[in-house]
C-alpha cells in the first residue's frame, strides 16, 4: 500500500512539474496565439518591425492581431495591431467615423516608416490613439494605449520601423 501511495505521489508531482513547464509559448487561450521570443526584430505574417526588449509581444495569426505590452513606472503601455480586409472606405473615412463615435480628435495625416496613417486621439478607459493605413484592400489599425503613450520613444521607434507585407 505504501508503494502504491508513493507511486501516486511521484506521478502527481511529475504531472505538476510538466504542467508548470513550457508555458512560455502559448499566450491566453485563443488558438493560433504564440508569444514571440524577446529580441529586436519581429517578423510576423503581415508585418515586421524592431522593438526594444522591454516589450512583450504576442501574435495571433488566426485573427491577424499583434498585442504588445510594456510595463513602465507610470503604468503599462499597450499596442494592438489588427489587419483586415476593408474595401468599402478609405483610412481617413475609417478614422473619421471612429472619431465621431468616440469623441476623438479630427483625423490627422501622419507618416510612420514611410506609410501614411490617419490618426485620432480619444479617451476611452484612458488616453488612446488610433492609427489606420490601407494598402489596396488591406486595412491596418494600430491602437496605442497607456499614460504618456504619445511621448514614449520606444513606441515611436516601433512605428517608424514598420514594414507591411501585403
The tens digit of pLDDT for each residue in 122-148 reads 999 899 999 999 999 999 999 999 998
Q: Say how far apart CA 72 and CA 16 lie, in whole Å.
A: 33
* Structural domains of the chain, ranges and CATH numbers in brackets: 24-164 (3.40.1000.10)
Q: What is the CA radius of gyration of the chain?
A: 21
pLDDT value, residue 33: 52
Residue 75 region by backbone torsions, left for phi larger than 0, else alpha for psi between -120 and 50, else beta: left
Instruction: Give the span between the Cα atoms of 118 and 137, in whole angstroms.
Output: 16
pLDDT above 60: residue 27 = no
CB under 8 A, 24+ apart: contacts of 67-73: 67/27, 68/158, 70/152, 70/154, 72/146, 72/152
Task: In whole angstroms, give the CA distance from residue 10 to residue 25.
Answer: 26
Report the Cα 46 to chain-centroid distance in Å: 13
Burial string for 93-126 (b: 16+ CB within 10 Å, else e) reads ebbbebbeeeebeebeeeebeebebbbbbeeeee
| Residue 40 backbone dihedrals phi, psi, to 5 degrees | -110, -15
Predicted TM-score (pTM) of the model is: 0.76
Residue 77: Cβ within 10 Å count: 21
Between 13-17, 53-57, 140-144, 149-153, the lowest mean confidence (pLDDT) is in: 13-17
How many other CB atoms are there within 10 angstroms of residue 38's CB atom? 12
Amino acid at each position: 500500500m505504501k508503494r502504491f501511495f508513493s507511486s501516486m505521489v511521484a506521478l502527481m508531482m511529475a504531472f505538476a512539474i510538466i504542467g508548470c513547464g513550457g508555458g512560455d509559448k502559448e499566450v491566453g487561450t485563443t488558438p493560433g496565439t504564440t508569444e514571440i521570443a524577446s529580441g529586436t526584430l519581429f517578423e510576423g505574417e503581415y508585418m515586421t518591425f524592431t522593438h526594444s526588449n522591454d516589450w512583450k509581444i504576442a501574435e495571433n495569426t488566426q485573427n491577424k492581431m499583434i498585442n504588445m505590452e510594456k510595463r513602465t513606472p507610470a503604468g503599462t503601455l499597450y499596442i494592438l495591431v489588427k489587419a483586415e480586409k476593408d474595401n468599402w472606405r478609405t483610412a481617413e473615412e475609417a478614422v473619421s467615423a471612429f472619431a465621431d463615435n468616440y469623441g476623438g480628435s479630427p483625423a490627422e495625416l501622419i507618416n510612420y516608416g514611410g506609410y501614411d496613417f490617419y490618426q485620432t486621439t480619444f479617451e476611452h478607459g484612458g488616453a488612446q490613439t488610433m492609427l489606420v493605413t490601407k494598402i489596396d484592400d488591406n486595412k491596418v489599425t494600430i491602437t496605442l494605449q497607456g499614460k504618456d503613450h504619445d511621448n514614449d520613444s520606444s513606441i515611436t521607434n516601433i512605428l517608424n520601423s514598420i514594414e507591411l507585407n501585403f
